[in-house]
Chains A and B, each alone.
Chain A
Amino acid sequence: MDISYIFVISLMLALCSSQAESKQKSGRGRGSMWWGIAKVGEPNNMSPITTGIMYMDPAIHSTLRRKQRRLVRDNPGVLGALVKGANLAISECQHQFRNRRWNCSTRNFLRGKNLFGKIVDRGCRETGFIYAITSAAVTHSIARACSEGTIESCTCDYSHQSRSPQANHQAGSVAGVRDWEWGGCSDNIGFGFKFSREFVDTGERGRNLREKMNLHNNEAGRAHVQAEMRQECKCHGMSGSCTVKTCWMRLANFRVIGDNLKARFDGATRVQVSNSLRQSANAVAVVSPNAAGSNSGGSNGLLQSAVSVYEDEERMLNDHMPDLLLDNTHLSSKIHHPNMPSPNSLPMAGARARNGRRQGRKHNRYHFQLNPHNPEHKPPGSKDIVYLEPSPSFCEKNLRHGILGTHGRQCNETSLGVDGCGLMCCGRGYRRDEVVVVERCACTFHWCCEVKCKLCRTKKVIYTCL
């Protein structure tokens, strides 16, 4: 007993000290450091059971901000989901960009550096895509983990069942169980969204244009997850008739979300710093001190409106998590519930008071409108990816900008697109190799339990950029 106590205390001390250590680091660098948790648990294959070990991984402390660490600590099992989410984002990004000059390469060793490399220091399209897909992946992965049961702290959202007679005068866990018995629990997807906002958007205060770009792209990623949700209903009334119908939301496969984000990447909007701080017509001229973007360093002021009105906040949240998200028969109430999107609904011990004070600003930081670089273009919508500067060519290796170049990349001889050898190799020419690939083929299955396959040798021609 005592030994375990000492262990816990020493662990906490270690945590504190490392927190203090990384405090200076956390503000540095523009890219979100949390992407680095994709490497947590490597090289061993991690599984949800070993989460205890994962907390001690130093990668966590070098990559996560204090608030993010607190979220991870307060939601057991969430770390595994985040690691999965980050890896999901990387593999999806690499899949979507496998035929382009920039192929979403990541570093193998972080050493306090950004996972995707220096490319994220520039506000180019690729950076926008990285932000969008990582935020989408976290949302997706957390929601999935909730329905897999690996995160135990996913909220049940009883707000609408508070009429339960027993709940009022019984404290703690008994009330929660009673609530579940009385009115059931809501979908898991809402928790994924809330958590993603809390976790991914940490540190992006929306103060300058680059932070606004990040925020916008993070939101765009989540909006794509949400737009791809489909409602399913089942009738189960008398004799299976529709007098009683239950509906729920179904998450799409992440590949579909990746496809959509890639399409938005291709049609991304370049936004710019406007010369004058323009206020939208209906905006209140004097901005309240805790409103988004009203900081003194407003030289980048691109805001059209920074009004912080409570109604606006609710409307905006409804925009981002519209009825579609939660319109199960017993869920839709929550979206109208003013407290619903508050960060307090995530279990975060000791963070309530502070968040209560900051709440206004936290929500309003999403409330801005970016201007297109070309004034004739439409302003970007909530699902569009935005960027600030044109992308480099990615042809030659440039370590200062974190570009690996296309040397040694495979290309397609017959294609005329970006994956064709002409464009991919930037005119440097390419090499032709013949390789023999051994694959399993003509498999036969027997239940139970054997699989017999032949080995087939096929010749393949591979073209590689010089």
Chain B
Amino acid sequence: MSGTILENLSGRKLSILVGSLLLCQVLCFLLGGLYAPVPAGHTNVLGSLCRENHARQNDTSFFLYSRGEGACTQVTREEVEQDSMKLANQIVHVFQMPLPRDSRVLDYSRWQQNLIGVLQVEFGYDSSSELREPPKELQLTIDMRLAYRNKGDPDHAWKLYAHGVEHRYLDCVAAHIGASETLYTCDMIPLFELGALHHSFYLLNLRFPLDTPKQMNLQFGHMHDLTLTAIHQNGGFTHVWLMLKTFLFPFVVGIMVWFWRRVHLLQRSPALLEYMLLYLGGALTFLNLPLEYLSLSIEMPYMLLLSDIRQGIFYAMLLSFWLVFAGEHMLIQDSPNKSTIRSRYWKHLSAVVVGCISLFVFDISERGVQLRNPFYSIWTTPLGAKVAMSFILLAGVSAAVYFLFLCYMISKVFKNIGDKRTSLPSMSQARRLHYEGLIYRFKFLMLATLLCAALTVTGFIMGQMTEGQWKWNEDVEIQLTSAFLTGVYGMWNIYIFALLILYAPSHKQWPTMHHSDETTQSNENIVASAASEEIEFSNLPSDSNPSEISSLTSFTRKVAFE
């Protein structure tokens, strides 16, 4: 890559540009912090007990529900306690979402995007029978039926969404040890994940079949309270998120078109870094594409998976870009031919590839399978959890390898910069300016990247530590989690936006590049002096047209003067 806009921009213009971009960044942060609600809301639903009609037990089109016309007659806890068999095999646990509030029937909106259900189990043993300590990883078999109903449907018109008999493993601790009964409280278990919250009401019917021949659920005394926590994305957050995406999308597309036109105006073929920048912009555009609008009218259960993939592609691209960028600024031109990913960087990028593939496999085996069966989770079985953990571990190791390697590359670049610094004064002017440009570009990106990475990390840690909220004063409070999400999203957009502008090739014909007569005059001198050094230039990778180079160097010198 020859001279870029970054080198040729005057200090004042650069500061204006950086300042306005920083302003945009602050706006993104405030948009999430002040305007958006928390990213996710939740509803805690306590299971109601209904007595089963055995004739319809296997009928998956029949549902028991606790509110509305035709609701089941509920069994009270006392009745269960009094029954000598604790009504075994007769009870259905019913969860109807969402709950009514403020004397109104609430319904889910499609803006709420997705629904994740986790279950908390409490059960008790009769201490009289035997005093047993429940083993860890207690297997629980649950017959789960998820149904939906839309606004305007009659109260009984529940339709089956998914049905499954699943195993979950429970880790429990004794909450109360008494003479008559020992109570156990268990860690929450994942129950279901819906990628599309397409319907208004949801209903979950849970049964815990007791079966002696199959040894099913026998080690449980009897169930006490079951609490389902249904987590959804908040509609307001979706609004803000989509707003941000719709706003950023055209800007990034526009700047990409501008960038590519500029590259094509040159008389040389695009350099590797220019390709990388374009790819990066493409990945960002894919991420920015507001596909979520479609989910408001079409049921898209694959939305969760898709957004994971989109983010994954973007981050993979970003990591690759940093590596290539560091590699291209080694200041050693070992091969005269143009470098490509395949010829130089495939080894460097293997860590990124391995990490991404392992995360992708993990995602497919979790969220991919959930497309078929929303009750599935890879974490529920001990083996699955181990497999999932190993994929994540692999991704973590490759991330560590990547960062070590990146650090190594960057330190090497800095070492080269130091070496070149000492020999700079002895070089010819054009060559010196070329190197100075490279060093400047590299340092600028390093600074910007470090800033962005540091902001991301501190934002993440702050979000984790302060439990998501931060109070400015009495009236103003900042939703840290939302601010973190929109801030980081906006930040990477702005980062890439800035890269596309600043690292676009510049040339003197460009009318926006103001330069005084004085510099134009001095150009000619340099053209003359540069001609004598043509041999040296031929080694430079992007050397194509001596006059173009010389004009660029004049700009760099102008920067140096200012």
Alpha-carbon distance between A327 and B362 when the two chains are bound, in angstroms: 32
Contact of A447 among B216, B307, B362 (CB under 8 A): B216
Closest residue on chain A to residue B471 by CB atoms:
A336
User: Which of A234, A245, A327 is in CB contact (< 8 Å) with B118?
Assistant: A234
Size of the A side of the interface (Cβ < 8 Å), in residues, is: 72
Q: Which residue of A lies closest to B165 (CB)?
A: A447
Contact B85 A152 (CB under 8 A): no
Rounded to whole Å, the gap between the CB of B223 and the closest CB of chain A is 12
Residues of B within 8 A of A440 (CB): 84-85
- The answer to whether A232 and B188 touch across the interface, beta carbons within 8 angstroms, is yes
User: Contact between A182 and B235 (Cβ–Cβ < 8 Å)?
Assistant: yes
Q: Which residues of A contact B468 (CB under 8 A)?
A: 245, 329-330, 332
**Cα–Cα distance between A177 and B185 once the two chains are bound (Å):** 34
Q: Is B102 a contact partner of A347 (Cβ separation < 8 A)?
A: yes
Write out the residue numbers on chain B whose beta carbons fall within 8 Å of the beta carbon of A160. 37, 477
A149-B99, A181-B111, A183-B234 are contacts. A244–B46 as well, Cβ < 8 Å? no
B183 interface residue (CB < 8 Å to A): yes
| A residues less than 8 Å from B463 (CB atoms) | 243
Interface size on B, residues (CB 8 A): 95
The answer on a CB contact under 8 Å between B89 and A448 is yes
Task: Select one of A87, A163, A176 contacting B78, CB under 8 A.
Answer: A87
Complex CA–CA separation, A180 to B45 (angstroms): 16
A378 contacts chain B at the CB level, 8 A cutoff: no
Contact present for B90 and A148 (CB under 8 Å): no
Once the chains bind, are A243 and B210 in contact (CB under 8 Å)?
no
CB distance from B146 to the nearest CB of A (A): 17
B152-188 interface mask toward A, CB cutoff 8 Å, 1 = contact, 0 = none?
Answer: 0000000000000000000000011010010101001
CA distance A443 to B86 in the complex (A): 12
B116 touches A236 (CB 8 A): yes
Q: Which of A177, A185, A250 contacts B120 (CB 8 A)?
A: A250
A135 adjacent to chain B (CB < 8 Å):
no
Which of A29-37, A102-110, A252-260, A292-300 touches B? A252-260
Contact of B227 among A164, A236, A243, A250 (CB under 8 A): A250
Most buried by B among A146, A147, A156: A147
Q: A272 interface residue, CB < 8 Å from B?
A: no
Known: A252-B175, A446-B212, A448-B57. A147 touches B67 (CB 8 A): no
Is B109's CB within 8 Å of the partner chain A? yes
The residue in chain A whose Cβ has the minimal distance to the Cβ of B366 is A240
Given A329-B481, A446-B211, is A163 in contact with B176 using a C-beta cutoff of 8 Å? Answer: no
B73 near A47: Cβ-Cβ < 8 Å: yes
Residue interface mask B105-119, A partner, CB < 8 A = 1: 111010110001010
Report which of B37, B88, B102, B239 forms a contact with A451, defined as CB distance below 8 A. B88
Q: Which residue of A lies closest to B395 (CB)?
A: A239
Whether, in the assembled complex, A15 has its beta carbon less than 8 Å from a beta carbon of chain B, the answer is no
Minimum CB–CB distance from B417 to chain A (whole Å) comes to 35
**CB-contacts of B96-136 with A (<8 A):** 96, 98-107, 109, 111-112, 116, 118, 120, 122
Complex Cα gap A183–B40 (Å)? 8
Assess whether B66 is in contact with A149, with CB atoms less than 8 Å apart. Answer: yes
Contacting residues, chain A, for B43 (C-beta < 8 A): 184-185
Tell me which of A147, A333, A444 contacts B44 (CB under 8 A). A147
Q: A250-B120, A329-B469, A448-B54 are in contact. Are A148 and B211 (CB under 8 A)?
A: no
Given the known A-B contacts A155-B101, A187-B44, A244-B485, are A449 and B85 also in contact in the complex, defined by CB atoms under 8 Å?
no
Query: Is there contact, CB below 8 Å, between B234 and A182?
Result: yes
Nearest Cβ on chain B to A248's Cβ, whole angstroms: 6
CB distance A153 to B90 under 8 Å?
Answer: no
Any B CB within 8 A of the CB of A353: no
Tell me if B35 is interfacial: C-beta within 8 Å of chain A.
Answer: yes
B:351-376 near A, CB below 8 Å: 359, 362-363, 366-367
**Residue A328 is within 8 A (CB to CB) of chain B in the complex:** yes
* Nearest neighbor of A453 in chain B, beta-carbon distance: B85
Q: Taking A183-B41, A255-B178 as contacts, is the C-beta distance between A163 and B35 under 8 angstroms?
A: yes
A187–B45 Cα gap in the complex (Å)?
A: 10
Central interface residue in A154, A156, A180, A446, by most chain B CB within 10 Å: A180
Chain A residues whose CB sits within 8 angstroms of the CB of B232 once the complex forms: 184
Please state if B229 and A232 are interface contacts (CB–CB under 8 Å). yes
Contact A347 B46, beta carbon cutoff 8 Å: no
Q: In the complex, what residues of B have CB within 8 A of residue A449's CB? A: 52, 54, 57, 89-90
Enumerate chain B residues within 8 angstroms of A332, measured Cβ to Cβ. Answer: 467-469
For the complex, what is the distance from the CA of A181 to the CA of B116, rounded to whole Å? 16
| A76 interface residue per 8 A CB criterion | yes
- Other-chain contact of B175, A87, A180, A253, A336 (Cβ < 8 Å): A253
A355 to chain B, nearest CB (A): 18
Interface string of A32-55 (1 = CB under 8 A from B): 000000000000010111000000
Question: Quick one: given A47-B73, A188-B44, A329-B38, are A242 and B464 in contact (CB under 8 Å)?
Answer: yes
CB distance from B43 to the nearest CB of A (A): 7
B40→A147 contact, CB < 8 A: no
Indicate whether A100 reaches chain B with its CB closer than 8 angstroms.
no
B460 / chain A contacts, CB cutoff of 8 Å: 243
Q: Tell me, yes or no, whether B333 is within 8 Å of chain A by CB.
A: no
Which chain A residue shows the least CB distance to B459? Answer: A243
Is B292 an interface position by the 8 A CB rule? no
**B48 at the binding interface (Cβ < 8 Å):** yes
Q: Quick one: given A147-B227, A236-B231, A244-B485, are A161 and B37 in contact (CB under 8 Å)?
A: yes
Is A245 within 8 A of B236, CB to CB?
Answer: no
Q: Restricting to A213-261, which residues have a CB under 8 Å from any CB of B?
A: 232, 234, 236, 238-240, 242-248, 250, 252-253, 255-256, 259
Contacts of A234 in B (CB 8 A): 116, 118, 188, 229, 231
B209 within 8 Å of A (CB atoms): yes
Q: Is A173 an interface residue (CB 8 A)?
A: yes
Question: Smallest distance from the beta carbon of A317 to chain B beta carbons, Å?
Answer: 16
- Is B12 interfacial (CB-CB < 8 Å)? no
**A443: which B residues are within 8 A, CB to CB?**
85, 88
Please tell me if the beta carbons of B84 and A253 are within 8 angstroms of each other in the complex: no
B74 at the interface (CB under 8 A from A): yes
Knowing A161-B236, A328-B42 touch, does A256 contact B183 (C-beta < 8 A)? yes
Cβ contact within 8 Å between B112 and A248: no
Tell me whether A319 is interfacial, beta carbon within 8 Å: no
CA A327 to CA B38, docked complex, whole Å: 13
Check A144 for interface membership: any CB of B closer than 8 A.
yes
Query: Which residues of B are found within 8 Å of A5, using beta-carbon distances?
Result: none
Nearest 8 A/B pairs, CB to CB: A184-B41, A329-B468, A183-B37, A330-B38, A447-B209, A182-B236, A445-B210, A156-B101
Contact residues of A with B, CB < 8 Å?
A: 45, 47-49, 76, 84, 87, 91, 144, 146-149, 152-156, 160-161, 163-164, 173, 176-177, 180-185, 187-188, 232, 234, 236, 238-240, 242-248, 250, 252-253, 255-256, 259, 327-330, 332-333, 336, 347, 439-440, 443-451, 453
Query: Please, could you name 26 A-B residue pairs with CB atoms under 8 Å apart, sorted by A?
Result: A76-B103, A84-B76, A152-B100, A152-B101, A152-B103, A152-B105, A153-B103, A154-B99, A155-B102, A156-B101, A164-B37, A164-B236, A182-B235, A183-B37, A183-B38, A183-B41, A184-B38, A184-B40, A184-B232, A184-B234, A234-B229, A244-B40, A244-B481, A336-B471, A445-B88, A446-B213
Given contacts A155-B102, A451-B85, 7 further A-B contacts (CB under 8 A): A181-B109, A183-B38, A183-B236, A184-B43, A253-B185, A328-B42, A451-B89
